Amino acid sequence: MSKKVIELLNQARERELHAILQYMVEHYELDNDGYEKLGSLVKEIAITEMKHAEELGERVLFLGGTPVTKPSADVKKGLSIADQVKFNIELEIDAAKMYNASAVICAAEGDNVSKAIFEKLLAEEEGHMDEFQKIQEHIQKLGDVYIATLIG
């Protein structure tokens, strides 16, 4: 199979590993600060990202490559809720762009299984992006009143 496809799968895996770590740190911080409702949502998304990383790793192995184990970036800690949400939207937008482009490349390389994986991940990342964008809209409209609803 194509080395290019393995590279794309591993780049996606690096992004997923970063998202997992970022979202788990946020989950811990949110829970510690009493924002368990938002923390639970972020934890659920992190678990979905874990499944993405696993699926990508398994595909890399199937194609004869070695799955990467390092995230694409360092985790940001201590962000305000508004900044967390903004950063998470950026992560999801970047992932969606990459997965869309990767699906096209996989199709050109004749690897429709990897293409289908990227398309599936793309749909799920867009769902995460939508969740975070809704939260951002609520924060922008209601500010601290909305943030207070995330407690407990």
Please check whether residue 80 is in contact with residue 26, taking contact to mean a CB–CB distance below 8 angstroms: no
Please check whether residue 111 is in contact with residue 1, taking contact to mean a CB–CB distance below 8 angstroms: yes
Please check whether residue 69 is in contact with residue 23, taking contact to mean a CB–CB distance below 8 angstroms: no
The answer, yes or no, to whether residue 135 has pLDDT greater than 80, is yes
Of the candidates 65, 44, 39, which has an alpha carbon nearest to the alpha carbon of residue 152? Answer: 39
Give the per-residue pLDDT at 152: 78
Which DSSP string do the residues of 119-149 spell out, in sequence order? HHHHHHHHHHHHHHHHHHHHHHHHTHHHHHT
Catalogue all structural domains in the chain, each as residue range(s) with its CATH number. 3-64+79-148 (1.20.1260.10)
Please check whether residue 65 is in contact with residue 10, taking contact to mean a CB–CB distance below 8 angstroms: yes
Please check whether residue 88 is in contact with residue 27, taking contact to mean a CB–CB distance below 8 angstroms: no
Question: Considering the entire predicted model, what is its pTM?
Answer: 0.95
Left if phi > 0, otherwise alpha if psi is -120 to 50, otherwise beta: which for 34? Answer: left
The pLDDT tens digits for 94-115 are 999 999 999 999 999 999 999 9
User: What one-letter code names the amino acid at 129?
Assistant: M
Token pair for 50: 């874990």
The pLDDT tens digits for 55-80 are 999 999 999 999 999 999 999 999 99
CA dihedral for 146, 130, 58, 13, sign (positive or negative): negative
